[in-house]
Chain A
Amino acid sequence: MTSAASAANQQLAAGWRPRLPSRLFLRFLGRRLAALVLLGLGITFVAFVLTELVPGDPAAANLGQRAIGDPEAVRAFREHYGLDKPLPVQYAVYLQHLAAGDLGESEQSHRPVRTDLAEYVPATAELAVTSILIAFALGIALGVLAAVRRNRLTDQVLRVLSLGGISMPTFWLALVALYVFFFQLGWVPGSGRLDPGVLPAPHVTGLYTVDALIAGQIDVLGNALQHLILPACVLAAYNVGLLTRFVRSAVLEVINNDYVMAARAKGLPERTVILRHVLRAALPPIITVGGLAFANVMTGTVLVESIFSWPGIGQYAFHSATTLDLPAIMGVSLFVAVVYIAVNFAVDVLYGVVDPRIRVA
């Protein structure tokens, strides 16, 4: 036997690389987690610096009218937040409070910010999740369409439309949509999560649609969906524009690869080739947009919830901004940033799930 042949046989006997127990991927995730914790810490530092930047006496700002006449309240406040101590100590005190979940007290509601947030988060969660689902469904469909019809009329029209989507001021779109679809056409209700007389289903998640589904109250479900549809679509507009462009380029990167031609050479119908082969390969970069889409939705809720009288943290942030309720502003910012970090981490995990090469790399 020639040396070339025996070498080939050796390679055959060696077998192929079995899938490792994802140790490397878990290590990668662990590193990411550590980095994220550090990032979380950095965020608290940013928030702390910002609170320090506020001109004027923080006690006066926080206690408002009461502070003027009550030196005892002022003294208690200063002691509680360590305002007499040097800055690094103040930061330590600040972190201590954060760790205990104390985000300060809202000047407007005179309740702990934490309580306010807990009350408003479910409404925004419902809106955000719905909006992202709509955005991905539409965005992926339109993006694939644009890629498959590249450079033809459909593609050019979608290009202009997607540019329009990311150029639109969301608050303006909300206004126009509400005026047209509620005020003029009466197709959707104008405010809130449910009609005035309708009671929400028993509280399980705080998401009216899910709770109604669990309780089997289909009429409540229908009502909640009616109220949900317009704000969710308005919030999705920007992301649909973004995703259409993104999906289009992701698909174009993949569609000329050899394995796509190989799939066609097997005689598979074109629809299968596009959906199972092309889209699957384009999915990893599309997933990474998930984090960005979430950030866009958060931005949108701040601008838009008050227009729809949607009782979520976006409206809370809006009112805090207009009334300069600093503890509330800082509290919301911190909360949203932390959730954003968590979402990005989830995206990283999802990426590894979708692309098997990453798990072993």
Chain B
Amino acid sequence: MSSPLLSVRGLRVKLPTAAGLVTVVDGIEYDVAPGEVFGIAGESGSGKTISVLTLLDLLPDGAVVEGRAMFDGEDLLRLGPRAMRDVRGLRIGMVFQDPMTSLHPMLTIGRQLTEHVRFHLGVGTAAANARAVELLEEVRIPDAAGALTAYPHQFSGGMRQRIAIAIALACNPGLLIADEPTTALDVTVQAGILRLLDRLRRQSSLSVILITHDLGVMSSVADRLTVMYAGRVVESGPTAEVIGGPRHPYTAGLLAALPHPEAAEDTPLVSIRGAPPSPQTRPAGCSFHPRCAYAIASCATDVPDLVGVDGDRRLACPVDPLRVPA
């Protein structure tokens, strides 16, 4: 791509546990272009949340981080606390998974919308409140002015997530990180949130990193995606191509596991045999090989490299069993 907004290389994160340091993210890399929605797909335990928390230095004490994350010419992983503060909320915004717990229960919506705006941009109360009303209208909260003095518990889950999105975008950041933004919401509400995200990014050339385990969500909004398993990237590329024609056995397994609404009644549900490993018990070689139908002897010893195949796609599987012959 021309000039990526965010460029992550060799990101490795180890977290402290009672039994010592455990590698949760094991060397991932990706680029996010300006104005695109970039998806990170994976199950719990794949390290996807930790990998984005690392970008904003929101990890617990004692975490060890390696690699580079170039954002706007700066390496996010090398910034000191002061500099990091100027990135968080101002240049990168974040929306968390559970809107029932990510808003402070005892502060008004207005306060939560304006406190960082006033801190980062130095604007006065009146200006900040006006901006807050604008934002709430942008995310379609009824009676935006009244909402300023209301508390989160007065709103439904879907509305709280809209408010959270408004908070994340209040200072006009260039990048929005959305960690499973619809997972905790009803299916009927999910569509609204996704449409909102799509509209917002088209309006303002905002880039979005969208994390989700739901490939259905991914396919409806993400331009490009990367699939993570056990702390590593296994496949990445344009969404339509990856979902239309997965090349990694794990991606294929994920897609096959999605129940199809128009399948015949007695079609059995497909699942990938085995279970994803915890960070402490990852197998040697390719982490997926114990569950893979196509594994060969070298899969148990050699960690596969992420290599380019076919244009913008990348794949971490030397076997490449699902390749469609040209």
* Chain A contact residues, CB within 8 Å of chain B: 4-5, 7-8, 11-13, 15-19, 257-259, 261-269, 272, 276-277, 280-281, 283, 354-357, 360
Contacts and interface: CB of A to CB of B under 8 A. Distances in A.
A8 B191 CA distance: 8
Contacts of B155: 16-17
B143 A268 contact: no
Contacts of B158: 8, 11
A356 B159 contact: no
B89 interface: yes
A356 B106 contact: yes
Contact of A16 (B87, B120, B156): B156
Contacts of A13: 142
Contacts of B101: 257-259
Contact of B153 (A261, A281, A357): A357
Contacts of A269: 85, 119
Contacts of B317: none
Given A267-B119, A280-B106, A262 B154 contact: no
B257 interface: no
A18 B107 contact: no
B116 interface: yes
B122 interface: no
> For chain B, which range describes its interface: under 10, 10 to 19, 20 to 34, or 35 or more residues?
35 or more
Contacts of B87: 267
A258 B99 CA distance: 9
A210 to B, nearest CB: 32
21 contacts: A4-B188, A11-B156, A11-B188, A11-B189, A12-B142, A16-B141, A16-B143, A18-B146, A18-B154, A257-B101, A259-B105, A262-B164, A265-B93, A267-B89, A268-B116, A276-B107, A276-B115, A277-B107, A280-B104, A356-B105, A356-B151
Contacts of A12: 140, 142, 192
Given A16-B141, A19-B150, A267-B88, A281 B119 contact: no
Given A265-B93, A276-B107, 7 more contacts: A5-B192, A11-B188, A17-B155, A261-B58, A264-B58, A265-B56, A267-B116
Most buried by B among A4, A11, A17, A266: A266
Nearest to A361: B153
A7 B158 CA distance: 12
Contacts, number: 114
B140 A265 contact: no
Given A12-B140, A268-B119, A263 B189 contact: no
Contacts of B106: 280-281, 283, 354-357
B90 interface: yes
Interface in B143-170: 143, 146-147, 150-151, 153-156, 158-159, 164, 167
Interface in B32-86: 56, 58, 85-86
Nearest to B160: A16
A360 B153 contact: yes
B11 interface: no
A1 to B, nearest CB: 11
